Amino acid sequence: MTKEKTTRCNHCGKQVGYHFDPVNHWKNLFFTVISFGLWLPMWLCMIFGPTKICNECNEPIWSTK
């Protein structure tokens, strides 16, 4: 049995579970190639710093810490 991780949502104002949206690597590879590498830092931020998404309202949860 796994316990769902929870946090406080800035939009709902409730304690909610969250998930991370998967990164579409093919789309980001395409953007990186057509922008001659300028998109690469954004792609790396998506991989190494994913945004928590609220399970209730489906809005991003921004950390206040």
For the chain, give every domain's residue range. 6-61
pLDDT at 65 over 70: no
* Cα 24 to Cα 1, 2, 21, 65, distances in angstroms: 30, 27, 9, 28
* Distance (Å, whole) CA 9 – CA 47: 22
pLDDT the model gives residue 1: 54
Q: What's the chain's average pLDDT?
A: 91
- The arithmetic mean of pLDDT across residues 19-42, rounded, is 97
Strand order in the sheet with 6-8: 6-8, 15-20, 52-54, 60-61
pTM: 0.72
- The arithmetic mean of pLDDT across residues 45-54, rounded, is 94
The H or E element spanning position 52 is strand 52-54
